[in-house]
Chains A and B, each alone.
Chain A
Amino acid sequence: MQDILVTKNIHRSFGALEVLKGVSLSLQKGETKVIIGPSGTGKSTFLRCINQLTPPDKGEVWLEGIEVTNPKTDIYKIRQQIGMVFQHFNLFNHLSALNNVSVGLHRVKKLEKNEAKRMGLEALDRVGIRDKADSYPAELSGGQQQRVGIARALAMNPKVVLFDEPTSALDPELIGEVLEVMIKVAEEGMTILAVTHEMGFARSCAEEIIFMEKGRILEQGDPEKFFTEPEQERTKEFLHKITELYGNSKEGG
């Protein structure tokens, strides 16, 4: 199968601090991969390098045979095809849930307003929040906001969706509804690269777990092997810590 997203040797520094020291990975169509690792490791920066919100200093990103990092590539076209879901939702505060989803269809994809709204409602439906179409972000719970955030990304019909710690700003009670949506999206065949420590999601959806530390990929493998017999001592130690925090990976989901 063809790789839909490929990154090669991504480097990025902030001042003297080298955050990413050469990260390479690839995703096939329909695959879900989960990145885990301690904070300050460059996981979020890596995701942001993929859609060039933070352009890498060195290295290449390819999306379905197009080099994203090539300066001649129309990055705005590319970003339409790479959905992004943010830790803090980043919903457009002055727009209703529906308009949050349809504004990209209308203003970026230049669809007719009615068509954009119709597709926006469909996207809200997919995340189970159609009844909140007219609510503003300030009126929604964190979990509802994040589901709108996911709908906003899905509505653009992207080739891949990047999830940047989508549940880590949520109250524990609200995490479930977001994970449910993420699992559904993964099962529907969306290609997903997620930074998350929700091991239940990782175990039930991920084809591969990637453990990043200090700007590098330390270990990667399929969840079964990764959780039961990790190769690196550091991986074991980290898995032990997040098991304490988030509970056993076998229970979640």
Chain B
Amino acid sequence: MNLGLLAREGPSLAQGALVVIKIAAGHLTLGLIGGITLAIMQVYGGRFASSISDIIQKIFRSIPVLVLLIMAYFGLTRLVEMPAIIVAIIALGVRSMAYQSQVFRGGFKAVDPGQMESALSIGMTKLESIRFIILPQVLRKVIGPWSNIFNMEVKDISLAYAIGVLEILKRGRYIIRYTHGNSLLIYLSVALFYFLLARAGNTILYRLEALLRVPGFEGRGDS
């Protein structure tokens, strides 16, 4: 193996890795906020709000993410000037929102309706009940299924390569091109990075689950 090459090109790969982490943080946060909102609309909203939510999640769950990325790239940048990384965050974010909404919908449905009733009975509004009583329970319940989404979607960040985002795969390809080779070493490094990122994320999620654990909300156990 050409370790000198890795030392020389490492910083470039690391920058690509940083871009991946930025996209992950951005799109998962967008998906989290949007997903919780869609789920609340679907479970607690009226007929109108819940059908809107349903239509949105169906659209973005049914279009391939690569198509979403390319559509967003050519559509959004025509409306507003924005860097490709933002386009990637938005495109991956709406897809994530759609999937997360389904995870959270299940979580909200799994909370006994009596919880909302007793929250209302002490004078909380519906939104306060959701915020202080329902959501904290949902979060504890969904960390497991949520980590699944995390795993899938973090890997899909490599698709942002298609719209020219300088993430780790794209940088790897550059290095291979101008060093005329080393493709195995570079691709292995890219793969290793994604592997470590996925594992680190899962570890953090397990820790979080353990941290939030209270009697009655046991987690998936240790691993």
B124 contacts A104, C-beta separation under 8 Å: yes
CB < 8 Å A-B pair total: 77
With an 8 A cutoff between CB atoms, is A8 at the interface?
no
Bound complex: CA A13 to CA B121 (Å):
21
Query: Are B114 and A88 in contact (CB-based, < 8 A)?
Result: yes
Q: Mark A51-76, 1 if CB is under 8 A from B, else 0.
A: 10100000000000000000000001
Q: Which of A78-86, A197-205, A226-234, A239-247 lies at the interface?
A: A78-86
Main secondary structure of the interface of B (DSSP, over half): helix
B188 interface contact, C-beta 8 A: no
A93 lies within 8 A of B137 (CB): yes
Answer yes or no: B217 CB below 8 A from chain A CBs. yes
Asked if B15 is an interface residue, CB under 8 A from chain A, the answer is: no
Report whether A86 and B117 are in contact in the complex, using a CB–CB cutoff of 8 Å.
Answer: yes
CB within 8 Å of A: which of B171-215? 214-215
State A156–B119 Cα separation when bound (angstroms).
Answer: 12
A90 with B214: CB separation less than 8 A? no
Given that A104-B122, A156-B123 are known contacts, is A138 also in contact with B114, CB under 8 Å in the complex?
no
Q: Which residues of B contact A135 (CB under 8 A)?
A: 215
Cβ of B120 < 8 Å from any Cβ of A?
Answer: yes
How far, in whole Å, are A80 and B137 apart by their CA atoms in the complex?
Answer: 23
Provide the A149-175 mask, 1 if CB < 8 A to any CB of B, else 0.
100110010000000000000000000
A90 neighbours in B (Cβ, 8 Å)? 112, 114-115, 117-118
Contact with A along B126-165 (1 / 0, CB 8 A): 0010001100110010000000000000000000000000
- State whether A108 and B128 are in contact (beta carbons under 8 Å apart), knowing that A93-B217, A138-B215, A156-B122 are contacts in the complex: yes
- Do A86 and B215 touch across chains, with their CB atoms under 8 A apart? no
Contact of A84 (CB < 8 Å), options: B115, B121, B140: B121
A: contact size bracket: 20 to 34
Contact residues in A for B118 (Cβ distance below 8 Å): 84, 86, 90-92, 149, 152
Complexed CA–CA distance, A88 and B132 (Å): 20
CB-CB < 8 A to B128: which residues of A?
Answer: 107-108
Q: Does B51 contact A (CB under 8 A)?
A: no
- Interface: B125 (CB within 8 A): yes
Contacting pair B123 A80 (CB below 8 A): yes
A93-B115, A93-B137, A94-B136 known; A104-B217 Cβ under 8 A? no
The answer to the question of A187 belonging to the interface, with a C-beta cut-off of 8 Å to chain B, is: no
Alpha-carbon distance between A81 and B198 when the two chains are bound, in angstroms:
50
In the complex, whether B216 has a CB less than 8 A from a CB of chain A is yes
B117 to A76, Cβ gap below 8 A? no
A-B contact pairs, 17 of them (CB 8 A): A53-B117, A79-B120, A79-B121, A80-B122, A84-B121, A86-B117, A90-B117, A90-B118, A92-B119, A93-B216, A93-B217, A104-B123, A107-B132, A136-B215, A136-B216, A152-B118, A153-B122
Other A-B contacts than A78-B123, A94-B216, A136-B216, 4 sampled, CB-CB below 8 A, are: A86-B117, A92-B118, A92-B133, A94-B217
Name the 3 nearest CB pairs between A and B, nearest first: A138-B216, A80-B123, A90-B118
